[in-house]
Structure 1
Amino acid sequence: MSQNKTAFVFPGQGSQKIGMLLAAHAAYPEVRDTFAEAAEVLGYDVWALVQGDDQDALNLTETTQPVLLTSSVALWRAWNAQGGATPDIMAGHSLGEFSALVCAGALSFTDAVDLVRQRGRFMQTAVPVGEGAMAAVIGLDDDTINKLCAETDGVVAAVNFNSPGQVVIAGHSAAVDAAGEALKTAGARKVMPLAVSAPFHTELMKPAGERLAEAIAGVAINTPAVPVVHNVHARTESDPEKIRALLVEQIYSPVQWTRCVQTMLDAGVGAAVECGPGKVLTGLARRIDKSLLCYAIEEPADLAEAVEALGEHQCEGA
């Protein structure tokens, strides 16, 4: 199969940083307008928060989620204004799935930015602070991680399958610690605690899922104009009601990111654009398949380069 198709991928929590999108905000009115639109919905100056000096405030889950969605949508609008090619397929990592659905026309931005603020609040309050934890496991295969988590007392499971050899586990703090020791004994190169305050994508998030189901019930969802690969099962979905259910299920289910990228590769994708701050997904994509051309577009010069390169990429495959 010719690998001439293009994917857009949207980052999740962990990509936020003070000072992000500074040059893009100066260069593109679409970025400025998007942050202003988010501020109207959220009731606070989103841009001032991003450019301030309080990383802890930015890292609060109910703040991080709308800020990252706003950043991704802002860059998507700038991409289109600069004449960027329409991608063939999209996917987002955890929260980024909401960004993908906005950019694919399935959700309105104003609905989504309020929805992910609530999602962040629900996730944060589902488990008391200190009772849950997450850790990245480097250098061990998925089957071994799943087996050792299942053998550990308490709630702990693999929740982010980010790339071959990079998996995140989560659950009750004591269970995550115990599983981490077992995984190191089994040959993991590293087990690194993550600076998060809740065990995302575990069964402990089911109360958050129930609250999200109530919040999303009244939100309009359309068939995406661009197919979006979903985290739960690594397939696309066109039925709005199934998309609604998947967004709820996603909150307490593992993120199958490696499979999502493989689905896009199998569909003929040869180039991927990371639409949001940072280059986390670019790094993961290269670990999954080194042949994939990757572009991160937070900086205006990088966005302009990607617009030109991907215009040629699509022409070559026409």
Structure 2
Amino acid sequence: MLEEIQSHDTTGAKHEEGPTTAVLFPGQGSQQPGMGRAFYEAWPTTREWFETLSDAVDVDVTDLCFDGDAATLSTTEYTQPCVYTVSVATFAGLASRYGVVPDYVAGHSLGHVGALTSAGCLDPTEGVELVRKRGRHMQRAAERGGDGVMLAVICRDPAVVERACDRIEGVSLAARNTDSQTVVAGPAPSVEQVRDRIADNARARFAELDVGAAFHSAAMEPAATAFEEDLAAMTFQTTAVPVVSDVSGEVYGGGERAVDELGTQVVETVDWRAVVETLRDRGVERFVEVPPAGTLSRFVDTRCPDLETIPLESPADAAEVFTA
């Protein structure tokens, strides 16, 4: 994607010099009505990519992002192409307008596809078609799974959470987001058992996530199987920018490994803590989160308070940082 943006750039922007930078792509749960509108209205490149990506799928993504209600935007089959479009189109505008070429990219769950796209691993229109399929597969799996839920747990000792999940049927550790925040997924009664175990053994706070399904758990195995077939039919290029896996925390360069990463990720634990540690250890000084932004920046701040985090919530945020 970077090559295409740069080849069509009319601003004369060059590679932005500055701190070692990672661009972060958020996942499902970050969506909100009106997301991306300010960038669409201010940046022509972002507007062009919004329209291109919306035209590539069978739903009006632009209309859903700007005028869809919260309930519709939270429906998985719509959430995924919408969040992907907002993130990728905004990144395109950022790269074109300010010459921003990141040193690394990473994404949380769905955001991994956006990160791969931005790094040149797959064409953006192929990417939005892919996440549209991913969202449908996961929606169907959620409907079959019935009462699946995801529970965020704030606990100073995450090992307590992992032990509480042990030998409870259908429950998985869905995400390690920070040193103290983990997410549990599974059938509602089983997750309630986990909650009770944790409460009996540690001081903890709990919040049920508004996602409507047990993502990154065994309930998503039918979705993973179907999605792996979609991935097998695609060609993934070597990336122009290193990508950090949100499953292993390892740095890789796209290609066929992207098939394995995206396929297994649907049911595996997202280890965002490992992503942040890898980027810190690689010398990243600045984390820029594309919209819908905020969640990943907070996770980074929790783990690395001495590093710079920039959640892009408006074009003014980008102007302040990249024209300083």
Range of TM-score over shorter length: over 0.9
Residue type at the aligned position of 1:135: L
Q: Secondary structure at the match of 2:21?
A: strand
Equivalent residue in structure 2 for 1:43, among 48, 58, 71: 58
- Is this contact kept in 1: 2:147–2:187, CA < 8 A? yes
Q: Distance in 1 between matches of 2:254 and 2:74?
A: 33
Moved runs in structure 1, 4+ residues, more than 4 A? none
- Is this contact kept in 2: 1:137–1:188, CA < 8 A? no
Structure of higher RCO (CA pairs closer than 8 Å, 6+ residues apart):
1
Deviation at 1:34, TM superposition (A): 1.4
Equivalent residue in structure 1 for 2:263, among 248, 252, 259: 248
2:169 counterpart residue number: 154
Q: Distance in 2 between matches of 1:108 and 1:175?
A: 40
Q: Secondary structure at the match of 1:135?
A: strand
Deviation at 1:204, TM superposition (A): 2.3
Residue type at the aligned position of 1:202: S
Equivalent positions of 1:230-245 (< 5 A) are: 230-238=245-253, 240-245=255-260
1:125 counterpart residue number: 140
- Is this contact kept in 2: 1:129–1:197, CA < 8 A? no
- Is this contact kept in 1: 2:241–2:253, CA < 8 A? no
- Is this contact kept in 2: 1:137–1:169, CA < 8 A? yes
Equivalent residue in structure 2 for 1:169, among 174, 178, 184: 184
Residue type at the aligned position of 1:238: G
Identity of aligned residues (%): 36
Deviation at 1:185, TM superposition (A): 1.9
Unaligned runs of 5+ in 1: 310-318
TM-score w.r.t. length of structure 1:
0.92
Equivalent residue in structure 1 for 2:197, among 173, 182, 185: 182
Equivalent positions of 1:85-234 (< 5 A) are: 85-127=100-142, 128=144, 130-151=146-167, 153-234=168-249
Q: Distance in 1 between matches of 2:163 and 2:73?
A: 35
Residue type at the aligned position of 1:83: Y
Unaligned runs of 5+ in 2: 1-17
Q: Distance in 2 between matches of 1:302 and 1:129?
A: 41
Q: Distance in 2 between matches of 1:97 and 1:264?
A: 15
The CA RMSD over aligned residues, in Å, is 1.5
Equivalent positions of 1:62-101 (< 5 A) are: 62-101=77-116
> Would the alpha carbon gap of residues 108 and 244 (structure 1) be closer, same or farther in structure 2, given more than 3 Å must change?
same
Deviation at 1:51, TM superposition (A): 1.7
Deviation at 1:91, TM superposition (A): 0.5
- Is this contact kept in 2: 1:93–1:231, CA < 8 A? yes
Alignment pair present for 1:12 and 2:30 = no
- Is this contact kept in 1: 2:81–2:132, CA < 8 A? yes
Deviation at 1:188, TM superposition (A): 3.7
Equivalent residue in structure 1 for 2:45, among 17, 20, 30: 30
After superposition, the C-alpha distances for 1:10-54 in whole angstroms (9 at most, x for unaligned) are: 100111111112221110111211111122111332111112152
Q: Distance in 2 between matches of 1:237 and 1:81?
A: 25
Q: Distance in 2 between matches of 1:217 and 1:298?
A: 35
Residue type at the aligned position of 1:35: F
Q: Distance in 1 between matches of 2:75 and 2:178?
A: 26
